[in-house]
Chains A and B, each alone.
Chain A
Amino acid sequence: MAASRGGFAGKVLRVDLSTGKIGVQDTIERYEAVLGGAGLGYRVLWDEVPAGTGPFDAANKLVFAAGALVGTSVPCNGRTTITTIFPTCWPRPLVGSGHMGGHFAAKLKYAGYDALIVEGKADRPVWLMIRDAKVEIRDAGHLWGSGIRRTTLELSQEMGPDCVVAAIGQAGESQAPMGMVINSVSHSAGGVGGVMGAKNLKAVAVQGSGAVRIAGDKAEWEKLVKFHLSILGANNQHVVPSFPTPQAEYYNPASRWVGQPGRRWGAAKPPVELTGDIHDLSRIVYRTNSAAFFLGEEAWKYTVRGNGCTACPIRCHTMLRVPSVTVKYGIPDMAQNTCIALQFGRMFFKGLMAGKGGEAAIEACMVGMHLADDMGVWSNYGQLQRDLRKLYEGGYLKARLGSKEYASIPWDKYDRNDPAFLLDLVPRIANRQGELGDVLSRGTGAIFDTWSIPESDWADDHSTTYWKMGHPKHHANEDDGQCGVIINTQYNRDAQCHSHTNFVRNGLPLAVQKKLATDIWGSPDALDAPGDYTPANPYKARRAKWSLMRKELHDALGVCNWMGPWVASPRWERGYAGDDSLESKFLSLATGRPMDREELDRAGERIFTLHRALTIRDMGQVDMRAGHDTVPPWVFEDAKGAAPFTKGTIRMDRADIGRAMDFFYEAMGWDTATGAPGKARYAALGLADVGEGLAAAGLVPQDGK
Chain B
Amino acid sequence: MSAGDAPDLGKAIVEAVREASAEARLVGADEVVERLRARGFGECLDTEPEVDPCRRVEALLSGLPEIASLASLSGRAVYHDPALLSRTYARILDRKGVTALLMAEEIRANSRDYPRPVPVELFEAPPFDLAPEAIEAAFKAMAASEEFRDIAFTTTSQGTVYLFSSLHLERDYATFLAEQDETFSMNP
Contact = CB atoms under 8 A, between A and B. Distances in A.
Contact of A355 (B21, B85, B116, B158): B158
Contact of B181 (A254, A510, A529, A573): A254
Contact of B184 (A246, A254, A295): A254
B12 to A, nearest CB: 22
B173 A510 contact: no
Given A340-B188, A478-B187, A510-B115, A246 B89 contact: yes
Nearest to A260: B126
B165 to A, nearest CB: 15
Contact of B180 (A247, A353, A478): A478
Given A479-B187, A648-B170, A251 B88 contact: yes
A246 B172 contact: no
Contacts of B181: 253-254
Contact of A249 (B87, B158, B182, B187): B87
Contacts of B128: 244
Interface in A296-321: none
Interface residues of B, number: 38
A390 to B, nearest CB: 15
B177 A531 contact: yes
Contacts of A340: 188
Nearest to B188: A339
A244 B160 contact: no
A379 to B, nearest CB: 11
A253 B173 contact: no
A192 B153 CA distance: 47
B158 A293 contact: no
Interface in A86-107: none
A604 B160 CA distance: 43
B144 interface: no
Interface centre among A246, A479, A505, A647 (most CB of B within 10 A): A246
B186 interface: yes
A209 B181 CA distance: 47
A254 B121 CA distance: 12
A547 to B, nearest CB: 17
Contact of B88 (A250, A479, A505, A511): A250
A647 B184 contact: no
Given A244-B89, A249-B86, A293 B185 contact: yes
Contact of A647 (B82, B88, B172): B172
Interface in B143-188: 158, 160, 170, 172-173, 175-177, 180-182, 184-188
Nearest to B160: A355
Contact of A262 (B126, B158, B160): B126
Given A244-B88, A509-B113, A531-B177, A253 B187 contact: no
Interface in A279-303: 293-295
Contacts of B24: 246
Contacts of A294: 185, 188
Contacts of B92: 244
Interface string A493-535: 0000000000001000111000000000000000001111000
A246 B21 contact: yes
A674 interface: no
Nearest to A479: B187
B125 interface: yes
A505 B186 CA distance: 14
B98 to A, nearest CB: 17
A243 interface: yes
B84 interface: yes
A488 interface: no
Nearest to A290: B188
B188 A531 contact: no
B71 interface: no
Given A244-B89, A246-B85, A355 B172 contact: no
A510 B185 contact: no
B41 to A, nearest CB: 26
A174 interface: no
Contacts of B85: 246
Nearest to B186: A353
B14 interface: no
A372 to B, nearest CB: 15
Nearest to A381: B188
Interface in A443-494: 475, 478-479
B40 interface: no
Interface in B80-127: 82-89, 92, 113-116, 118-119, 122, 125-127
Given A252-B114, A253-B122, A509-B114, A531 B88 contact: no
Interface string B14-56: 0000000100100000000000000000000000000000000
A245 B24 CA distance: 9
Contacts of A347: 186
A340 B128 CA distance: 32
Given A509-B113, A647-B176, A247 B84 contact: yes
Interface string A566-595: 000000110000000000000000000000
A602 interface: no
Interface in A352-391: 353-356, 382
A175 interface: no
B173 A355 contact: no
Nearest to A361: B185
A530 B182 CA distance: 14
Contact of A511 (B113, B125, B158): B113
A254 B85 CA distance: 22
A253 B127 CA distance: 13
Contacts of B82: 249, 572
A170 interface: no
Contacts of B158: 354-355
Nearest to B112: A509
Contacts of B83: 572-573
A649 interface: yes
A249 B172 contact: no
B175 to A, nearest CB: 7
B47 to A, nearest CB: 35
B1 to A, nearest CB: 32
Contacts of B177: 530-531, 648
Given A243-B125, A246-B24, A254-B184, A648 B88 contact: no
A248 interface: yes
Nearest to B128: A244
Contacts of B188: 294, 339-340, 343
B70 to A, nearest CB: 13
Contact of B173 (A260, A339, A648): A648
Interface in A308-351: 339-340, 343, 347
Interface core residue of B83, B113, B170, B186 (most chain A CB under 10 Å): B186
A73 to B, nearest CB: 28
A349 to B, nearest CB: 12
Interface string A239-268: 000011111111111100000101000000
B176 A510 contact: no
Contacts of A246: 21, 24, 84-86, 89
Contacts of A243: 125-126
A243 B113 CA distance: 16
Q: Which of B126, B175, B185 has the most chain A CB atoms inside 10 A of its CB?
A: B185
A247 B127 CA distance: 12
A293 B182 CA distance: 11
8 contacts: A244-B126, A250-B88, A343-B185, A532-B173, A572-B82, A573-B83, A647-B173, A648-B175
Given A510-B114, A529-B115, A647-B172, 10 more contacts: A243-B126, A244-B92, A246-B84, A246-B86, A247-B86, A254-B181, A262-B126, A478-B187, A648-B170, A648-B175
